[in-house]
Each structure stands twice: as C-alpha cells, then as structure tokens.
A and B are shown apart, each in its own frame.
Chain A
C-alpha cells in the first residue's frame, strides 16, 4: 500500500477547444516526498492539478490519487487531500477564528493545534476580520484551513503567488514542518526556484503542455551543464552539438549550455579548438532557464546593420 504512488497519471491529455493544454502526461509521485511541479505560465500545471482532483475531465488518459481514479473520488478520500488554490473562498465578515470553526465542521480529522500554529506563524490574530487581512495574511489563513484537517496529500497550486518574502518564508517553513510526518506528501507548483531548492525532493517540468523532465532535484541541476570557451579570435560558428540548449557569444568567448553532457558533446566542442575551455556548474535557476528558454544562439553584440537601423 505504502509503495503505491500517491499520484499517478497515464497519458493524461486535455484540450480546450483546439488548443492542447496537457499532452500525454505520465508521472508518478511517491509517498512521503515533496514534489515540485514546474513550468512557465500557461504550460498546463493548473489544468493537470484540476484533473488530479477530478474537477476537470481528461479527454484522454487517466489520473489516480491515493489509489483511486480521480473521476470517482469519494468525499471521505477528498477529506484526506488538502487543496490550496489561488482563489480560496473566504467570507470577509468572518473573523479568523470563525473561518476556522466553519471549516472544521466539514472535517472529522480537524486538528485545532495545527490551525492555531499556522495562523500564529503568519502573525494572524484569531479575532481579526478576514476582510481586513493583507494578502500574505489571507494566504496564511488559507494555508491554515488547508493544513488543519491533517491531509495525507497536500496539493498546492502556486501557493507563493503574490506573497512577500517574509510570508513566502513562512509558507516554506510550514511545508517543512509538515514533513515531520514521513508519510505526508506535498505536491506543489511554483515559480520561486529558491523555495523549490529548499524544500523539494523531486521536480517535474511541464513545457508547452508536455512533460520535459521528472527526476530528483539534484539530477536535474547536474544534467544541465555550461561550458565556457575562450578563443584567440572571433568564436567560430557552432557545429551540431549533442544535447545543445543555448549558446551565448561575445567577442572572444562562447558560452554553451547542454543537457546530458557526454564524450560526444565534448568532442564536438573541442573541434572548435578553443584556447581555453572550462566547465561551469549551474544553479537550479540557471539550469531551469537554460532548459526551458528559447533554443539557439544569442549575442549582445549588435551588428552594424542593427545599429544603423
């Protein structure tokens, strides 16, 4: 039972009209991990999450959560999933405490200690009116409402959106706190790679509706490699390089990023006969940008014609 992935999708596909939002997505999220779901805006992350929760029907393929088909999740199973969206429904006239009391009525496993802990962590007073809360405080309340039922699986759709750095830190701390129970799983989407670097065990990258990477965080970082080459004169044009992602040229330098750097890659680069060649390790964010950015060559040197026009 515990070896079974908490989330599993097979060939999951969804169209909106003629536009493909998610294409043939197959992934598995192991129990007890923190899983980051990454991708640029509009890459299909939210659509995937809504299909996982059975809020949207797939056109093809299937998704299962906690071992049950997403289209047939019974209420008692839903109660074991915490789902945090950007537009969490809150009633402005309620106080923070009333919002908690109201929510707790729907959950048999409601844990008041967690609720109080999280709102305290975000600096929220129980008697404060919801309509007077700042954005960060609202996010804290939403998180408290999502965590207090002590969910086995936490699905957070861009929880850091619009949060200031202090509120974001509180969010990350709450996520780490949750990993105290080793059987709890967190699946979250984010654009903040520094947060991802802190909390995630695994990551998946969605790009233009297609899954482009799904691996441990460290494997992703190390599979993208930058090579800096210096030349006596103007760097020569690039040959075909296996795993080529991007190149950036300056007067005497050529910086190339590749994925899955191997002997073939090195051979192709050495054939350019640089006077110096150095491998430069990349941070997670740089690796991500190289991997998802536009392929090809870039330069900051304007040609004469561009300057003239």
Chain B
C-alpha cells in the first residue's frame, strides 16, 4: 500500500477544496474507480459539499500522476450519477444530488455490500449482536461528522 500513493491538495481561487485522493496501482480496483469512490466518499461524509469546486481534469491528473483520460472517465461517471457538473470555462462543481437510481436498484446494489459485511464479520467470530452494535455506532459517527461540516 505504501509504494505508489500520491496525495493531491488543490487550491482553487474562489473555494479551497482539500481533496485527498490516494491512488494505489496494482489494485484490482481500476484507477478511475478509485477516484470516483473517493469523491463519492468525500461527499457522503460531508468533506465535499454542494458548490465546492473540484480540480480540473488536467490538474488532478498531473497531481495524481495518472493519465488525464482516466480522470476524465471518473468525472464522466460522477457526472452521470448526478454528483458533479462541469460548467464550461468555470470548472467542475459538486451539485445537489439528483435521484438517478431507483429505490429498487439501490437495494439491489446494497445487497452484496451487506452480504460481505455480515459474512466477513461472522467469519471473524463477531456475534450478530456485536455486528449490529458496531454498525449502528459507525452510522451515528458518520451522521455526526456530516452534521459538523454542514
């Protein structure tokens, strides 16, 4: 994990966004996905909020030392999800989340994540009660963090 990570702190003139994205090469997660996941996480935890500006494709690519097309692909995915918007001549911005995924589709995607959590947790000898407890604690911790920023 230590070998090839790059941090990116980007300052934009109007709004300053500290975007700490870490890229791991050799991972089974493609680089464009590592970027989308970390932006999504930053939005979910409130580190990035609506109207925050993201670095341009070129700036992010050079600071992460990855091909600009990879960053462009990540941004295109995020735009398709309705998380960001590129305003020509002005930059890339976090926008209010539109509901682009149906509730049913969301449930379908949530299912495997829950399965992983439960099966890995049980395999580590946690009881169902302990798992539930840990899950709830984490959830309230996230809510608090998000509340702190907004």
Contacts and interface: CB of A to CB of B under 8 A. Distances in A.
Contacts of B26: 193-194, 197, 283-285
Most buried by A among B4, B30, B58, B67: B67
Nearest to B61: A176
Given A173-B62, A194-B4, A179 B28 contact: no
Interface stretch (A73-81, A84-92, A198-206, A257-265): A198-206
Tell me whether chain B's interface is mostly helix, strand or loop, or mixed.
Answer: loop
Contacts of A177: 62
Nearest to B30: A218
A212 interface: no
Tell me whether chain A's interface is mostly helix, strand or loop, or mixed.
Answer: helix
Contacts of B62: 173, 176-177
B28 A281 contact: yes
Interface string B20-47: 0001011111110000000000000000
A277 interface: no
A172 interface: yes
A180 interface: yes
A201 B28 contact: no
A201 B67 CA distance: 8
A199 B25 contact: no
B66 interface: yes
B66 A199 contact: yes
Nearest to B58: A180
Nearest to A221: B30
Nearest to B28: A281
A173 B28 contact: no
Contacts of A198: 4, 23, 25, 31, 65-67
A172 B58 CA distance: 15
Contacts of B28: 280-283, 286
B82 interface: no
Contacts of B23: 198
A163 to B, nearest CB: 14
Nearest to A179: B68
Interface of A: 34, 165, 169, 172-173, 176-177, 179-180, 193-195, 197-201, 218, 221, 280-286
Given A176-B62, A283-B27, 11 more contacts: A176-B65, A176-B66, A176-B67, A193-B26, A198-B23, A198-B65, A200-B67, A221-B30, A282-B28, A283-B28, A284-B26
8 contacts: A173-B62, A176-B62, A176-B67, A195-B25, A198-B65, A200-B67, A280-B28, A284-B25
